[in-house]
Amino acid sequence: MKQDLLGLKDLSAQQIKNILSHAADMKKVVLSDSKKIPNLQGKTVVNLFYENSTRTRMSFELAAKYMSANAANISSSGSSVAKGETLIDTAETLDVMGTDILVMRHNMSGAPHLIAPVIKASVINAGDGMNEHPTQALLDIFTMIEHKGHIEGLKVAIIGDISHSRVVRSNIHGLTKLGAEVSLGGPATLMPKDIDKMGVKVFNNVQEAIIDADVVMGLRIQLERQKKGLFPSVREYFRFFGVDESRLRLAKPDAILMHPGPVNRGVELSTSVIDGDKSVITEQVTNGVAVRMAVMDMLINGGF
Amino acid sequence: MKILIKNGHVIDPANGIDGVTDIYIEDGIIAEIGKNDDLDGVENIQVIDAKGMIVAPGLVDMHVHLREPGQEYKEDIETGTRAAVYGGVTSVACMPNTEPVCDNETVVRYIKERAKEVGYANVFPVGAISKGLEGQYLAEIGEMVFSGAVAVTDDGKPVENSALMRRAMQYSDMFDITVISHCEDMALGEGDMNEGAVATEMGLRGISPAAEEVMAARDILVAESINCRVHIAHISTKNTVELIRQAKKRGVKVTCETCPHYFSLTDEACRGFNTNAKMNPPLRTAEDVLAIKEGLKDGTIDCIVTDHAPHHPDEKECEFGYAKNGIVGLETSLGLGIKYLVKEGYLTMSQLIEKMSKNPSEVLGIAKGTLSTGHSADVVIFDPQKAWTVDVKELHSKSKNSPFDGFELYGKPEYVLVNGKVVINSGELMK
């Protein structure tokens, strides 16, 4: 039976820990002088991206190559997708070309869940609509553990556009399974109904969400949300909901600042905190490669 | 041709009949209701033994998408009415969102003629309120009525312009037909499924119940202000039920309908990105389901309709956000009504039949939904204790988009008569 990674919703706490533990080994490879291990020798990884992406796509591609896999990329504008082929047909076509792992990003929630049951390749969800982005949350949690040593009992504040964020949903699943306390902060217009039922606290006042946090995570604000009237202006957004030095001081003194990227400087985070000593944003990127290596290795060689 | 339906439990809410008796049918017309043991010398008579079964007026489904003309790849008049009779539905009112739109007498006539040629059930076309369903100008409502349209609606979308809605009600009133309102505030209604914990967790865009309620409130108030009638389509929320309940108390000429999925399923059915649970209005919460059942029980909700909305597999086996809204329902509505309303004690069998035959006939002003003598014999006969399991592959609609696959229901029709002709015999279509 092949295994997929569609979301952290589907993983147990132990499975998450297994991935994180393996990622620690993989990070040594990423940081070494000789970034080549044979674990995916002869295997093929295809990145199928229906949305623009720099870091996630590159991260998966390098992770595959560091493990000696064949890696190929498809984006929606340069393929039959643009000719109106259905998602299932596209995925089946790639499947029968000898794909072992299909990494997929799609603008629609549930798209990888549609594909996974109908193809032989293992599917990794690299972000589906507003639903999940499991490898992002895994790298976030991995980074938290590197700095804090554990997840249980940590207070994690996630600030920004909660409604449209797949990162937040995956983090909620992962962090709550591992025993963290999650607080969400952001404007009511970007806070989805009943999200507290996922076991988190909800604040419209970001200061309250940040108080005593061990981890503060900013989420990207997509600027087109303003055009839909979800907030009045970028300036007002930053004034009330942006994370700057004074707000970050409400967190614990040794708190870390995270962001999945790409950052809008001066919108969700001030430039001073992005470049400040609490920021671990660039470490997250390195850890992303390690986590994705771990996930792909485990999907092919034995499971989570 | 003579038919005698013997020993059945006859339910005819229009005439207050609810007991074991016989029905004698001659030349397609109900000739007599009452014990009839004297068949000596009667020749060429078919006797149907309905012992242990319910004998009721054929069901009238006033909200069906037959898709013809224009979208025959989903359904057509032949397959849609075939599914209908398998479900005990002997009359359907078909929605005008065809291609071309049923907004003129030519299309109304076409549908009626096709139904005469290939239909298994009676077909009553519903015309559009506005030309092309565009919400701009009134369609030729008078001409459509004169050629056989029984109501008007822009179903599938709302009439956003309140003044146009008002004029539609005034104009339709002259021709003694009802405006059926699809209640949806389009801006509030943008989304994939009901707003709430399930949508939030799945990362799907939530549709506020207020999208339905604000338009229901508007149409009630508009109708009240001009003393015209309005029929609110496919209601799904607790507050819509309450709005209509209060309006009826004030004497507003408002009627309404709900669908089996709104009293049997919640938004939980969408889990796993199940596109067969995607519809508009969306499946709501358990609290709404309870309110719908209460509304049916206290008479606030007049009719049960299917909103039978066939879609091709390609339109459902896709990303949830891209999937079309709607489900097929003609073959499961009676079974769902028995299971979730009668067996749960919300309605008596007679009340269920009333909401599935007599009441919709009255809203549409058609001579259906009764077993009165002199009426054409549209009859459904079923055993409400007999369980059957829904297998979507076995449905007789061209499309199989049902969320009820594997459900155990009751009362699959054994016999169905349309205009005195047996079309379903022992559960099978007569050739």
Chain A touched by B187 (CB under 8 Å): no
Of A113, A129, A169, the CB nearest to B321: A129
Taking CA atoms, what residue in A is nearest to B187? A228
Residues A194, B196: C-beta atoms closer than 8 Å = yes
On chain A, the residues whose CB falls within 8 A of the CB of B197 are 193-195, 197-198
Residues A193, B272: C-beta atoms closer than 8 Å = no
Residues A128, A186 within the same domain: no
Say if B2-55+377-384+405-429 and B58-364 have the same CATH topology: no
Q: Which residues numbered 272-291 in B keep a CB inside 8 Å of some CB on A?
A: 272-273
Please report whether residue A1 resides in a domain. no
Using beta carbons and an 8 Å cutoff, which residues of A are at the interface with B? 9, 86-88, 106, 108-111, 113-114, 128-132, 166, 169, 192-195, 197-198
CA-atom Rg of chain A in angstroms: 19
B307 included as an active-site residue = yes
Residues B317, A132: C-beta atoms closer than 8 Å = no
- Nearest CA among B402, B382, B399, B408 for reference residue B86: B382
For residue A82, the model assigns a pLDDT of: 65
Mutate to test the interface with A, among B207, B268, B319, B324 (most CBs of A within 10 A): B319
How many whole angstroms separate alpha carbon A125 and alpha carbon A136?
10
Residues A209, A289 within the same domain: no
Please report whether residue A2 resides in a domain. no
Residues A42, A74 within the same domain: yes
Write out pLDDT tens, residues A183-215: 999 999 999 999 999 999 999 999 999 999 999
Please report whether residue A37 resides in a domain. yes
CATH number, domain of A257, equals 3.40.50.1370
Taking CA atoms, what residue in A is nearest to B319? A111
For residue A80, the model assigns a pLDDT of: 62
Cβ contact B260:B336 at 8 Å: yes
Residue A65 buriedness (CB in 10 A; 0-12 / 13-18 / 19+):
middle
Residues B319, A108: C-beta atoms closer than 8 Å = yes
How many whole angstroms separate alpha carbon B135 and alpha carbon B139?
10
Is the domain covering B58-364 a CATH 3.20.20.140 domain? Answer: yes
Of B317, B318, B320, the CB nearest to A109: B320
Write out pLDDT tens, residues B4-19: 999 999 999 999 999 9
Q: What is the pTM of this model?
A: 0.95
Q: What is the mean pLDDT of each run of 10 residues along chain B (431 residues)?
A: 94 97 96 83 88 98 98 98 98 98 98 98 98 98 98 97 98 98 96 98 98 98 98 98 98 98 98 98 98 98 98 95 97 98 98 98 98 97 98 97 98 98 96 72
Q: Residues B22, B192, B307, B383: which is the catalytic one?
A: B307
Structure tokens at B6: 């013997």
Q: Is the dihedral of CA B166, B244, B195, A229 positive or negative?
A: positive
Shortest distance between the Cα of B321 and any Cα of chain A, in A, equals: 6
Residues A26, A41 within the same domain: yes
Give the residue numbers spanning the domain of A16. 8-132+285-300
Residues A109, B204: C-beta atoms closer than 8 Å = yes
Residues A101, A203 within the same domain: no
How are the residues of chain A apportioned to helix, strand and coil, as percentages rounded to the nearest 5? 45, 15, 40
For residue B40, the model assigns a pLDDT of: 67
On chain A, the residues whose CB falls within 8 A of the CB of B192 are 109
What are the DSSP calls for A6-47, one per residue? --GGGS-HHHHHHHHHHHHHHHHHHTSS-----TTTT-EEEE
Residues B318, A88: C-beta atoms closer than 8 Å = yes
On chain A, the residues whose CB falls within 8 A of the CB of B195 are 193
Shortest distance between the Cα of A110 and any Cα of chain B, in A, equals: 6
ipTM: 0.93
Cβ contact A217:A158 at 8 Å: yes
Domains identified in chain A, total number: 2
Please report whether residue A82 resides in a domain. yes
Quote the percentage of chain A above a pLDDT of 70.
98
Residues A187, A206 within the same domain: yes
Residues B197, A197: C-beta atoms closer than 8 Å = yes
Shortest distance between the Cα of A90 and any Cα of chain B, in A, equals: 12
Residues A12, A100 within the same domain: yes
Taking CA atoms, what residue in A is nearest to B271? A110
Cα distance between the two ends of chain B: 17
Distances (CA, A) of A14 to A155, A180, A304, B178: 20, 15, 9, 61
Residues A180, A289 within the same domain: no
Residues B196, A129: C-beta atoms closer than 8 Å = no
pLDDT in tens, chain A (304 residues): 899 999 999 999 999 999 999 999 999 999 999 999 999 999 999 999 999 888 999 999 999 999 999 999 998 765 666 667 899 999 999 999 999 999 999 999 999 999 999 999 999 999 999 999 999 999 999 999 999 999 999 999 999 999 999 999 999 999 999 999 999 999 999 999 999 999 999 999 999 999 999 999 999 998 777 788 899 999 999 999 999 999 999 999 999 999 999 999 999 999 999 999 999 999 999 999 999 999 999 999 999 9
Q: To the nearest 10°, report the CA torsion of A84, A88, A90, A91.
A: 160
For residue B42, the model assigns a pLDDT of: 76
Residues 6 or more apart whose Cβ sits within 8 Å of residue A91? A48, A102, A104, A115, A118, A119
Q: How many residues can be counted in chain B?
A: 431
Residues A138, A127 within the same domain: no
On chain B, the residues whose CB falls within 8 A of the CB of A128 are 203
For residue A81, the model assigns a pLDDT of: 64
The CATH code that applies to domain B2-55+377-384+405-429 is: 2.30.40.10
Residues A202, A253 within the same domain: yes
Q: What are the residue ranges spanned by the domains of chain B?
A: 2-55+377-384+405-429, 58-364
On chain B, the residues whose CB falls within 8 A of the CB of A198 are 197, 200-201
On chain A, the residues whose CB falls within 8 A of the CB of B204 are 109-110, 129-131
Taking CA atoms, what residue in B is nearest to A129? B203
Residues A122, A138 within the same domain: no
Residues A26, A114 within the same domain: yes
For residue A71, the model assigns a pLDDT of: 96
Shortest distance between the Cα of B285 and any Cα of chain A, in A, equals: 12
Residues B272, A113: C-beta atoms closer than 8 Å = yes
